[in-house]
Structure 1
Amino acid sequence: MDARTRMARWEQRTEVPLAVASVIFVAAYALQVLGPDRLKDAWIDPGLAMMLAAWAAFAVDYVVRWRLSGQRLGFVRTHWLDTVVLVLPLLRPLRFVKLYEALQRRHGEPRLALHARVMVYSGMSTVLLGFTGALAVFQQERGAPGATMRTFGDAVWWACSTLSTVGYGDVTPVTPVGRLIAVGVMAVGLALLGAVTGTFASWLLQTFSREGDEKPPKS
């Protein structure tokens, strides 16, 4: 059995467990940030344990796939997104998108065309990263001196305006960590917006080109 086959089998077996780990991580983190004070005080240790367990699952998966690939440092270059997800916990919800793609392929060819899949996956990624980004910024900003982000609703509004690259400026982070998270959200917003607009423009060009080819020649 070659390395590629072993890698494919491992990924097939771990798709659902890692997606469940992503759900556990996001749920535990959201409860720590948004839960009532009494519940948060009692949830600190169990929540941290669940988040660490989810991270350990991703770390084990990364190490196993790295060993199965036999690429050494080449694995880091070819699987850079997995490396970033392992280092930055807030990107772990992207596993949902990967699981959705894998489930689509298990039933044969994906139902959506390539352009539609790119836009759907970009939309899913935007929603997931917007939610986790709002959680992270709100955790840093609430109670900070001079903070304009007083509620989680303010954080969601800020995430939406930042990801869409509108940036009204009515709600902005003031803490150093909050601003660092904001830089990451800006970069993700630009990348996802570029992917969607580029894919949509490519689809329009292909559509108009196809319509031009189908027109009967003038007599």
Structure 2
Amino acid sequence: MDDDSRAERWEQRTEIPLFLASLVFLAAYATRVLAPGLPGFWRDLCLIVLLALWLVFAADYAVRWRLSGQGLRFVPTHVLHTAVVILPLLRPLRIVPLYDVVQRRRGESRLSLYARVISYAGLSTVLLGFSGALAVYQVERGAPGTTMHTFGDAVWWAASTLSTVGYGDVVPVTPLGRAIAIGMMAGGLALLGAVTGSFSSWLMRTFTREGDERPPRG
């Protein structure tokens, strides 16, 4: 059995369990950030869950690297896999290829390419916004001169950043917070471009098809 088929089988077997694990990771992180008054036992338990799941993600990355047979070329050719190991909060963005894995088990895809891109981008935006709001809120709260006093402020900032509106009423003031903001801006532009481009292409294709199918005037 060649490396490609082994890697594909590994992906089909692990993608859904790892996606569910990523949601648990995000929930544990959110609990630590949003409930600072939790008893020490529960905070420590959340930390143990975070570390254990990060080790699971790292092990999955190592297996995929080994099965790919690409050596160091695996890193630049699998950017999303690499990013979610370095920044585990991005792991829920693996929902992007999850649909393909499910459909390979069930047969042919039921959604058109345009619908898939739009749904992927929409779900990714929600997950990226929530993860980014958590991360920047953890860094910014309590910082001197902060304008992000509540998690609601962080969500508002994430929404305005991802939508490229940028009102400027709530902004990060720490270097790490601004670094997170740069990543959010880049992600927002990419996701917005994917949605608008796919929607425009779908409209053009629909109008063209309707024009071709319209009977000629006698």
* TM-score > 0.5, shorter chain as reference: yes
Aligned length: 218
Q: CA deviation at 1:65?
A: 1.2
Aligned to 1:47: 46
1:4-37 Cα offsets, whole Å, 9 max, x none, are 1111111122123212320221011001000141
Aligned to 2:23: 23
Within 2, Cα distance between the matches of 1:44 and 1:36? 8
Query: What is the RMSD of the two structures over their aligned residues, measured on CA atoms?
Result: 1.5
Opposite residue 38 of structure 2, the aligned amino acid is R
The percent of aligned pairs where both chains have the same amino acid is 67
Aligned to 1:185: 184
Within 2, Cα distance between the matches of 1:116 and 1:38? 42
Aligned to 2:7: 7
Q: Does 1:93 align with 2:92?
A: yes
Deviation larger for 58-67 or 209-218: 209-218
Opposite residue 154 of structure 1, the aligned amino acid is D
Aligned to 2:174: 175
Aligned to 2:61: 62
Deviation larger for 156-165 or 65-74: 65-74
Structure 1: gaps of 5 or more residues:
none
Structure 2: gaps of 5 or more residues:
none
Q: Does 1:35 align with 2:35?
A: yes
Within 2, Cα distance between the matches of 1:37 and 1:18? 29
TM-score w.r.t. the length of structure 2 is 0.94
TM-score w.r.t. the length of structure 1 is 0.94
Within 2, Cα distance between the matches of 1:215 and 1:100? 35
Within 1, Cα distance between the matches of 2:211 and 2:95? 39
1:172 partner SS: coil
Within 2, Cα distance between the matches of 1:38 and 1:64? 36
Deviation larger for 124-133 or 16-25: 16-25
Within 2, Cα distance between the matches of 1:15 and 1:89? 15
Aligned to 1:197: 196
Aligned to 1:72: 71
Deviation larger for 166-175 or 98-107: 98-107
